[in-house]
Amino acid sequence: MVLVNETSYLPFLQTALLQTLFSSPRTLHKKLHFVSYIYIMFHIATLIICFITNQVNVLHFIMAQKRFFHKSFHIIVGRFLNKVVMNINKHLLEWRELHDLKQQQVADAIGVSRSTYANYEACKRSPDIETLTKLADFYGISLDALVGHKTKQSDEASLPPLARRMLQSFDKLSKRMQERYIAHMALDVEIETVTDVPKILYDTVAEKNTKK
């Protein structure tokens, strides 16, 4: 993640703060307001860079911030985050529909009520980082993929929940049982392929007859 280095601004802020100590009461208020303004602009710029680089990092950044000391900063950040939250909640709906799951199934998987999860999709509530992590684990994807952030390269294989549960159960079997299970599956595939041959031949003949 690319972030603006806060330490590069410290000398400037320290100088501004020292100047306020030797200011007259008449100019002290203006200089304090100026220092506050610089601080606010720095964090807004950092948020924008976070959003462009990785939307998930915006949530991490906001959760780490405990010093929203300025009202205007809080308002600006709130408006900015509304767009981020709406985008994330839209992708929650898309992932659920992609796997043909009901809201109750997803809610049970992440340990919340159905109404709570429904509020996530309806943009009435915002899932925290822990909930987003559970959702990403449930779908077998990264947080970036969950919220719609496109990465240039990804080495992670995305598996549907059912396939992932089968793989987890398979890993718990002994090596001998795994080999028997693989052989059994291979036989099932072979039998299914053979039984499909007559249908394929029938469809081919039917197509030829319609063309005559």
Sequence spans of domains, the chain = 6-158, 173-212
Tell me the per-residue pLDDT of 156-205, one tens digit each, with 9 for 90 and over: 455 666 666 777 777 787 888 878 877 777 777 677 666 554 554 444 44
Residue appearing with tokens 């595939």: 189
CATH node for 6-158: 1.10.260.40
Identify the residue with better confidence: 92 or 63. Answer: 92
More confident position, 150 or 154: 150
**DSSP codes joined into one string, the chain:** -----GGGGHHHHHHHHHHHHTS-HHHHHHHHHHHHHHHHHHHHHHHHHHHHH-HHHHHHHHHH------HHHHHHHHHHHHHHHHHHHHHHHHHHHHTT--HHHHHHHHT--HHHHHHHHTTSS---HHHHHHHHHHHT--HHHHTTPPPS---PPP--HHHHHHHHHHHTS-HHHHHHHHHHHHHHHHHHHHHHHHHHHHHHHHHHHHH-
